[in-house]
Structure 1
Amino acid sequence: MPRLPHPTPEALRRDPLPLRGRTALVTGASRRAGIGHAVARRLAAYGASVYLHHHVPHDAAQPWGADRIEEVTASVTEALGDPRARVIAGPGDLADPAVPAELLGRAVEALGGRLDILVANHALSGSDGDLDTIDAAMLDAHWAVDTRSVLLLVQAFARHRAALEPRTPGGRVVMMTSGQDMAGGMPGEIAYALQKGALASITRSLATTLAEQAVTVNTVNPGPVDTGYMTGEDYEAIAAMFPAGRWGMPDDPARLIAWLATDEADWITGQVISSEGGFRR
C-alpha cells in the first residue's frame, strides 16, 4: 500500500467550524452546571446541530435540583457557530429499556434524518453504597441506566449508521467512565464503579464492531469535575489534589470530547482517555 502524502498546507489550517453540517445527540444534558451541557455548547460552537436529552425528574430528586430545560436550550443555542444549525431538546427515562432506541430515533428525525455523533453522558446519581450496604436493587438500578441504556443507544446508533450510504464519514461515539480503575478506586460507590468499569471494558470491542461503518468509539474519564455537588472543606481537599489547585470544570472534558468528534480525531478509536488535570489520588 502506498504511503499517504503529507497534508497540503490548506489541510493543515484549522476550520473554525469543524463540525459544520454534522449532527449530535448528547444525553444527560439537563443542567447548566453539568458536563453534558458543556459538551453540547462545544459541539454547537463547532458548527453542529445538537439534540439535548434530559430527564428532569432525576435532577429534581437530587440535592442540586433541576434547571428549566428552556434555559439549558437557550444557553446551547447562543453558542451556535453556524446560523443554519439547530438545538432541540427532548425527554427520556433511560431506565426504561425501550427508551434508548426511541430517543435515538427522535433525534435522527428532529435533526434531518442523519445522526453523526452520539455522546452518552448520562448517569444515575445516588442509589449506591459500599460493599457492606450494596444490594440487588442498587446494582440493578445502576446497570439499567449507566450501562444497559448506553449499549442500547450504541446499538440503535450503529443500526442507523448502517442504513446510510456505505462508510459515511464522521461517525462518532463517546461514552463516559470514571476513576474506578485508578489508584484507590471508588469503594463507596460500588454499583456506579462497576457499571462505569463495564463501559471502559467494552470500548475496544465496540470500536472494532463499528469500524466497518467508519464510526470511532472512545470513552472519556473526566476525573473530578465541579458540577455543583460538593462544597466546603471536602471541596477544598479535592482541589488540593490537582497540580493546578482547582477542580476540573465542565468545559475541561468538553474540549476533549468535542475534539474527538472532529475529523482531526479520525485515527483515535477504542481508547479510554483520562482528562483529569494530573489529579493525584
Structure 2
Amino acid sequence: MPELPVPTPADLARDPLPLRGRTALVTGAGRRSGIGHAVARRLAAYGASVHLHHHVPHDAAQPWGADDPEDVAASVREALAAPGARVTHGPADLAGPEAPARLLADAVEALGGRLDILVANHARSGDDGPLDAIDARALDAHWAVDTRSVILLIQAYARHRAALDDEAPPGRVLMMTSGQDHGGGMPEEIAYSLQKGALASATRSLATTLAPLGVTVNTVNPGPVDTGYLTGEAHAHIAALFPAGRWGRPDDPARLLSWLATDEAAWITGQVIDSEGGFRR
C-alpha cells in the first residue's frame, strides 16, 4: 500500500495573510452595517485587494438609507494588511442583463487584470409578500437581481478564469442564500425566498462546472443578521430565538465566507453551509 502524504510542519503553519496577493469582488457592499462590508474587511485583513460593488439608489429607497461609497471603501482600507493591496469601488444596477459582465470586467480592470474571489452578496430588498399578494412583476424583479445576475456574474467569472495561465491562484465563488429551506420557510417573502432557493439548488451544479478551472463554489446561509432592518419587539423576538440571546452580526458570516476563500478550504465545494448560531425556528 503506498504511503500517504503527510503535511510538513511548513504546510501546517498558518499564514497570517492567507489571501496575500489575491483579488476579490464583493457585491452588495454599499453599507457599513451590511454583510458585504464585513466580508470585504475580512478579506482585506487576510491580505486581499478588494473591489466593492454598490447600488446606492436601491439602499437610498429603503428605510435604512444609503452610505457614501467612499466612506465604505475607507472603512475597508483601514483593514488592509498586505503591502500594495488596495480597495476600489464602483456602481452597478445588476437588474440589467448586461450589467453583471460589465461589473466583472470593471473589477478585473480595477484590480490589475485578475480576479480570484467572487462574493455574490447582493440582493433586492422589499417589493415582496405572501402568495396571495405577489405578482409577476415582483417575481421577475427579484429573479433579475437575486438569481439571474448572480449566474451571469459567475458565467463572466468562469470565462475570465479560463483565459488565465496555469500560474493563477485557485479561484473561489461564494454565494448567499437564506433560511427558505428550514423550519416554516419564508411565507411572507415568496419572491425573495424562491430566488435564494434557486441559488442553493444550483450550488452543486456550478461547483461541478467550475472544478476543472480550479475554482470552488459554496453558498452560505447566514441566518438572521442584524443589519438594521428590524427594530423594537420584532427585533427582541428574533434575538430570543438564538441560544446566545443575540442576533447574528455581519462579521459572523463574514468569518466563514473569508475562510472559505482561503486555501484552508480548498477541499470544500458544492456545499450550502448554515452559519446561524443555532437559530431556532
TM-score bracket for the superposition, by shorter chain length: over 0.9
Report the counterpart of residue 251 of structure 2 in structure 1.
Answer: 251
Alignment of 1:1-281 (within 5 A): 4-166=4-166, 168-281=168-281
Contact 2:226–2:248 (Cα < 8 Å) also in 1: yes
The 4+ residue runs of structure 1 with deviation greater than 3 A are 1-4, 166-169
> What SS class does the counterpart of residue 119 from structure 2 fall into?
strand
Provide the rounded CA distance (Å) in 1 between the counterparts of 2:219 and 2:254. 13
Contact 2:93–2:99 (Cα < 8 Å) also in 1: yes
The alpha-carbon distance between structure 1 residues 3 and 229, as it changes in their structure 2 partners (threshold 3 A), is farther
Give the superposition deviation at 1:10. 1.6
Contact 2:22–2:169 (Cα < 8 Å) also in 1: no
Contact 1:180–1:193 (Cα < 8 Å) also in 2: yes
Provide the rounded CA distance (Å) in 1 between the counterparts of 2:40 and 2:158. 21
Segments of 5+ residues of structure 2 without an aligned counterpart are none
1:67-108 deviation line (CA, Å, top 9, x unaligned): 011110000000001121000000000001111000000100
1:246-278 deviation line (CA, Å, top 9, x unaligned): 000000000000000000000000000000000
TM (norm. structure 2) is 0.98
Provide the rounded CA distance (Å) in 1 between the counterparts of 2:66 and 2:2. 55
Provide the rounded CA distance (Å) in 2 between the counterparts of 1:113 and 1:277. 38
Contact 1:168–1:213 (Cα < 8 Å) also in 2: no
2:126 counterpart letter in structure 1: G
> What SS class does the counterpart of residue 109 from structure 2 fall into?
helix
1:16-37 deviation line (CA, Å, top 9, x unaligned): 0000000000000000000000
1:6 counterpart letter in structure 2: V
Aligned residue pairs total 281
**RMSD across aligned positions (CA):** 1.1
Give the superposition deviation at 1:166. 3.5
Provide the rounded CA distance (Å) in 2 between the counterparts of 1:70 and 1:146. 25
> What SS class does the counterpart of residue 66 from structure 1 fall into?
coil
The alpha-carbon distance between structure 1 residues 138 and 167, as it changes in their structure 2 partners (threshold 3 A), is farther
Give the superposition deviation at 1:13. 1.3
Provide the rounded CA distance (Å) in 2 between the counterparts of 1:169 and 1:234. 45
TM (norm. structure 1) is 0.98
Provide the rounded CA distance (Å) in 2 between the counterparts of 1:246 and 1:230. 13
Contact 2:27–2:119 (Cα < 8 Å) also in 1: yes
Contact 1:173–1:217 (Cα < 8 Å) also in 2: yes
1:5 counterpart letter in structure 2: P
What percentage of aligned pairs have identical amino acids? 79
